[in-house]
């Protein structure tokens, strides 16, 4: 039962990893951009939640109403005024510019908030559980996090495949030059994609802040978790990111059950094994 408990926890944490991954997958799908600062934006969102909840006296989940649009705006602006200039045939400029952003965000957070770790208080919901059997119970908050991840990925999926917005995103992903011939401004679409990615990141950041302690240095590890979930799930498939997140979460849970020092290692090993035996991931698809 102990093992089952760990695995269930792993699955639920996988939802958070899927949120990291979905934002990463989205911008790679639309504009082949890999944002090295992705994890640092997650942490930035966590700190924004800290500020907003304290300033407005609202709960963490309510703070999303402010933070998600704010992060989306930051993403749009960043893409239009900075990252669009780096896109082209050369791989280095977008990588190194987002790498520079990562360093700036991390150290900016250090400067403003100090290296001390923080946590967001969500009240009674944090400790509430749903007992499934005498030995097995599920935390309400982890469950909520998982359900939000599923809903978000379902929502993104619907957006991509059911709306004219998604049509423009997919067409831009196919051919950013021809899409202009049908009146779509590719630069604007890139901005929207980054805005959407950071809105997803905002949700992930708030859940991160409620679930555990956070500090300015933990961004890169979130980037890596998101990346591993993307590759395990298969590049360019949104539901795949959920599967990838769950695989990663379960691997880490099993690892830490064996030995607390093995938690991260087990996750990385799961990723490396997938890379070795099935480099295209479980659910590959070319388009986002």
Partner 1 sequence: MTITRGARASRLTAYAALVIVAALASAPLWAGPSNLNLLTQVFAYVALATMWNLLAGFSGLVSVGQQAYVGIGGYALFALTMFGGLHPLVALVMAGVIGGLLALPVAALVFRLRGAYFAIGSWVAAEVFRLLASQITALGGGSGTSLPARIVVDMAAGRQAREFMIYWTGLALVLVVIGLAIALLRSRWGLALRAIHHNELAARSNGVEVTRIKLLVYVVAGFCTAMAGALIFLQKLRISPDAAFSVNDWTAFVIFMAVIGGIGRVEGPIIGAIVFFVLRQSLSDLGSLYLMMLGLVAIVIMLRAPRGVAGWLHDRFGFEPIPLERRVTYSSTMHESKPEPQHV
Partner 2 sequence: MRDLLAIASLDAFYGDFQALFDVSLSVGEGEVVAIVGSNGAGKSTLLKSIAGQIATRPDAIHFDGAPIGGERTHLLLRRGISLVPEGRRLFPSLSVEENLLIGGEHGRKGPWTLARVYDLFPILKERRDQRSTSLSGGQQQMVAIGRALMSNPRLLLCDEISLGLAPIIVREIYERLPQIIGDGMSLVIVEQDIVQALAASRRVYCLQEGRVTLEGASATVSRESIAAAYFGV
**Nearest to 14, CA basis, from 263, 276, 251:** 251
Angle, helices 219-233 vs 2-31, to 10°: value is: 90
Q: How far is the CB of 143 from partner 1 (least distance, A)?
A: 29
Give the DSSP letter string of 98-143. HHHHHHHHHHHHHHHH-S--B----GGGGT-EEESSSS-EEEHHHH
Q: How far is the CB of 108 from partner 1 (least distance, A)?
A: 6
Q: Does 228 bind partner 1 (CB under 8 A)?
A: yes
Contact string (CB under 8 A) for partner 2, positions 85-104, x = contact: --------------------
**Residue of 104, 130, 151, 158 that binds partner 1 (CB under 8 A):** 104
Helix, strand, coil percentages in the chain from 3-state DSSP, rounded to 5: 75, 5, 20
Identify residues 242-271 at the interface with partner 1 (CB under 8 A): 261, 264-265, 268-269, 271
**Residue of 33, 149, 199, 254 that binds partner 1 (CB under 8 A):** 33
Residue 135 interacting entry, from partner 1, partner 2, none, C-beta within 5 to 8 Å by type: none
Q: How far is the CB of 282 from partner 2 (least distance, A)?
A: 20
Contact, 10 vs 254, CB < 8 A? yes
Angstrom CA distances, 27 to 24, 47, 245, stand at 6, 23, 18
Q: Does 34 bind partner 1 (CB under 8 A)?
A: yes
Residues in the chain: 288
Identify residues 167-186 at the interface with partner 2 (CB under 8 A): 167-168, 170-171, 173-175, 177-186
Q: How far is the CB of 261 from partner 1 (least distance, A)?
A: 6
How many residues of this chain bind partner 1 (CB under 8 A)?
A: 43
Contacts of 237 (CB under 8 A, 6+ apart): 25, 281, 283, 284, 285
Angle, helices 2-31 vs 164-174, to 10°: value is: 70
How far apart are alpha carbons 118 and 212 in whole angstroms?
Answer: 8
Q: At residue 122, what are phi and psi to the nearest 5 degrees?
A: -110, 5
Output the CA torsion sign for 214, 35, 195, 193.
negative
**Residue of 1, 57, 111, 164 that binds partner 1 (CB under 8 A):** 111
Residue 104 interacting entry, from partner 1, partner 2, none, C-beta within 5 to 8 Å by type: partner 1
For residues 86 and 180, which CB has a smaller minimum distance to partner 2 in the complex?
180
Q: Does 81 bind partner 1 (CB under 8 A)?
A: no
Residue 181 interacting entry, from partner 2, partner 1, none, C-beta within 5 to 8 Å by type: partner 2
Residue 154 interacting entry, from partner 1, partner 2, none, C-beta within 5 to 8 Å by type: none
Q: What is the CA radius of gyration of the chain?
A: 19
Give the DSSP letter string of 214-241. B-GGGHHHHHHHHHHHHHHH-TT-HHHH
Site of interaction with partner 2 (CB under 8 A): 164, 167-168, 170-171, 173-175, 177-186, 286-287
Enumerate binding residues for partner 1 (CB under 8 A).
Answer: 28, 32-34, 36, 82, 85-86, 90-97, 99-104, 106-108, 110-111, 220, 223-224, 227-228, 231, 261, 264-265, 268-269, 271-272, 275-276, 279
């Amino acid at each position: 039962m102990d093992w089952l408990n760990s695995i269930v926890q792993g699955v639920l944490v996988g939802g958070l990893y899927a949120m990291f991954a979905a934002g990463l997958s989205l911008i790679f799908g639309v504009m082949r951009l890999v944002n090295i600062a992705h994890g640092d934006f997650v942490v930035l969102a966590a700190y924004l939640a800290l500020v907003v909840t304290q300033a407005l006296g609202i709960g963490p989940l309510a703070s999303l109403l402010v933070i998600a649009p704010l992060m989306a705006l930051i993403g749009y602006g960043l893409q239009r005024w900075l990252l669009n200039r780096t896109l082209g045939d050369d791989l280095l400029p977008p990588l190194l510019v987002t790498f520079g952003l990562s360093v700036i965000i991390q150290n900016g957070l250090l400067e403003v908030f100090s290296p001390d770790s923080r946590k967001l208080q969500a009240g009674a919901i944090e400790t509430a559980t749903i007992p499934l059997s005498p030995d097995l119970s599920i935390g309400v908050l982890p469950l909520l996090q998982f359900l939000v991840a599923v809903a978000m990925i379902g929502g993104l999926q619907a957006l991509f495949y059911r709306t004219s917005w998604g049509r423009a995103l997919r067409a831009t992903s196919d051919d950013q030059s021809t899409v202009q011939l049908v009146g779509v401004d590719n630069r604007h679409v890139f901005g929207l994609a980054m805005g959407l990615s950071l809105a997803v990141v905002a949700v992930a950041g708030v859940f991160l802040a409620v679930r555990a302690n956070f500090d300015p240095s933990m961004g890169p590890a979130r980037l890596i978790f998101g990346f591993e979930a993307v590759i395990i799930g298969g590049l360019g498939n949104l539901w795949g990111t959920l599967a990838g997140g769950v695989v990663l979460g379960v691997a880490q849970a099993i690892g830490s059950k064996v030995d607390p020092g093995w938690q991260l290692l087990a996750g990385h090993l799961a990723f490396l094994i997938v890379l070795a035996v099935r480099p295209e991931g479980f659910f590959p698809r070319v388009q986002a």
